[in-house]
Structure 1
Amino acid sequence: MSEKERIYIAACGVCCSVCGLFVKGICLPCGSGLPADSDIVEKKMAEQRKNLGRTCSRLQCVVDKGVGYCMRDCPEFPCKMYKETTFPYSERFIGMYERRNR
């Protein structure tokens, strides 16, 4: 399977494979906190440090906690990081998720 055929889902749930920046070769996929993605995550975090001066707080969090995906694997989802910003989920989505996931 080629790089372009693989489906990359970021720890936050965004599908990197359909992102125009990834498709155009401008951006690396984020990867997840799963051990199988450790090489992808290392490269992505290095790219983020170089281009942004920091790493994605969500990606760093899953790595630190040892969980694969925020929404699927973290018992704290939606946490403060998701509630204080609208990326990648809107306030309405977070509210709906909380109501349905009681």
Structure 2
Amino acid sequence: MATGPCGLACDACGLYNRGKCASCGPGNSIEARAKINIQEQLGFRCPVLACAITRNIDYCSRDCSEFPCSRYERGPYPLSQSFLQMYRRRSGPQH
């Protein structure tokens, strides 16, 4: 299943299934580098994808000790504030 570093499953997205969007792929993937290059050409850069590539991690919540971070707090996507709060609660005092 195609999944971005943010944890969103591309296979569940209508845009992806209609060929309107390509998967970001894990942060270490060829797909991720291709996606960020296309975004930069369009004048946009997903901060979550860019960070995963820079930190050399595949998936934020699984691989990054700083998840959830300010990149998730600032943006209107990809995860809701209530999910982030729940994640912190369940993760314990380190978050």
Q: Normalising TM by the smaller chain, what interval?
A: 0.7 to 0.9
Runs (5+) with no aligned partner, structure 1:
1-6
* TM-score normalised by L of structure 1: 0.82
Show the counterpart of 1:3. Answer: none
Paired amino acid for 1:70 = C
Q: Deviations over 1:47-96 (max 9, x none)?
A: 21233x12211011011111111111100001011122341111111111
8 Å contact from structure 2 (residues 33, 53) kept in 1: no
Residue in structure 2 matched with residue 4 of structure 1 by the alignment: none
Query: Which amino acid counterpart does residue 78 of structure 1 have in structure 2?
Result: P
Could you list the runs of 4 or more consecutive aligned residues of structure 1 that deviate by over 6 angstroms after TM superposition? none
Paired with 1:55 and 1:44, the residues of 2 have a C-alpha distance of 9
Deviation at 1:42, TM superposition (A): 2.2
Q: TM-score by structure 2 length?
A: 0.88
User: Does 2:95 match 1:101?
Assistant: no
Within 5 A, what are the aligned runs for 1:12-91? 12-34=6-28, 37=29, 39-51=30-42, 53-91=43-81
Alpha-carbon distance between aligned partners in 1 of 2:61 and 2:75, rounded to the nearest angstrom? 15
Residue range with higher mean Cα deviation, 92-101 or 39-48: 39-48
Q: Distance in 1 between matches of 2:39 and 2:74?
A: 21
Q: Which runs of 5+ in 2 are unaligned?
A: none
How many residues matched? 92
